């Protein structure tokens, strides 16, 4: 499928370039024939289509293939499948910070584990996006995973977790008005999981370390 897409883009870009060359030649040779308004509109519309075909296809070829250092996918579900680090999961929620290219994907694993996954977003043409999943952290732990993961006993402390451009963590709702990250109030996202209420907090990374305090 990937090869079919690449060959299709190459064909479109080639047709677009041929179209541009043809229209430029017509423009230089037959200026009088397109001087009438209707002829000019038709000529310009066809020329614009050739430009879009050419440069649009070339852009997708470059962005999707030649310089793609990591396997970005067209859907978050596909990105998670390519990551493969979490099994038996269901995507239950998603947080989209306005200040970062990362998304916080909240995933339920094996019925009683809450995981936050790192989803990197690449902006493409006309508002399209591609995604890359690169792991994450366990927010609410199950007893079957042992004590090394972030379990409910740490939730009340709001353990800070780092993404490239943001910090985030999880707290109980009663601490929403108390938590400060480097002296700032973070953003909040409510979630109900496994019969309990939690609050995901997140904030932009503006310093090397995150100092987390609870004000009384």
Full pLDDT tens readout for the chain, 216 residues: 556 666 676 776 777 677 777 766 666 666 555 555 566 667 667 777 777 777 766 666 656 545 556 667 778 888 888 777 777 888 899 999 988 888 899 988 887 788 888 888 877 655 677 788 887 777 887 555 444 444 555 666 677 888 888 999 888 888 888 899 998 999 999 999 888 899 999 999 988 888 888 887
For residue 3, the SS3 value is helix
Please answer whether residues 130 and 122 qualify as being in contact, where contact means their C-beta atoms are separated by less than 8 angstroms: yes
Tell me what pLDDT residue 210 has.
85
Question: Which residue in the block uniquely carries the two structure tokens 């932009």?
Answer: 204
Tell me what pLDDT residue 135 has.
73
Helices and strands per DSSP (H, E), number in the chain: 4, 10
Is the pTM higher than 0.75? no
Tell me what pLDDT residue 190 has.
95
Please answer whether residues 179 and 186 qualify as being in contact, where contact means their C-beta atoms are separated by less than 8 angstroms: yes
Question: Which residue in the block uniquely carries the two structure tokens 């996006």?
Answer: 129
* Every domain of the chain and the residues it spans: 2-66, 76-214
Tell me what pLDDT residue 187 has.
95
Angle at 73 between CA 68 and CA 76, to 5 degrees: 145
Alpha helices in the chain (DSSP H): 2-29, 37-61, 76-83, 152-155
In 165-182, which positions are buried (b, 16+ CB within 10 angstroms) versus exposed (e)?
Answer: ebbbbbbeeebeeebebe
């Amino acid at each position: 499928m990937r090869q079919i897409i690449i060959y299709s883009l190459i064909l479109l870009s080639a047709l677009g370039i041929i179209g541009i060359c043809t229209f430029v030649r017509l423009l230089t040779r037959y200026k009088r024939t397109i001087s009438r308004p209707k002829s000019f509109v038709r000529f310009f519309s066809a020329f614009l289509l050739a430009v879009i075909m050419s440069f649009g296809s070339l852009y997708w070829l470059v962005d999707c293939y030649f310089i793609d250092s990591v396997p970005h996918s067209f859907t978050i579900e596909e990105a998670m499948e390519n990551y493969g680090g979490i099994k038996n999961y269901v995507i239950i929620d998603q947080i989209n910070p306005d200040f970062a290219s990362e998304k916080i994907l909240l995933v339920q694993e094996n019925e009683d584990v809450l995981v936050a996954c790192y989803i990197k977003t690449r902006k493409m043409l006309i508002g399209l996006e591609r995604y890359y999943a690169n792991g994450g952290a366990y927010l609410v732990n199950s007893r079957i995973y042992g004590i090394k993961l972030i379990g409910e006993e740490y939730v009340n402390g709001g353990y800070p977790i780092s993404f490239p451009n943001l910090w985030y963590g999880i707290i109980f709702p009663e601490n929403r008005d108390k938590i400060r990250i480097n002296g700032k109030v973070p953003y909040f996202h409510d979630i109900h999981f496994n019969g309990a209420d939690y609050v995901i907090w997140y904030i932009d990374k503006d310093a090397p370390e995150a100092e987390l305090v609870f004000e009384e």
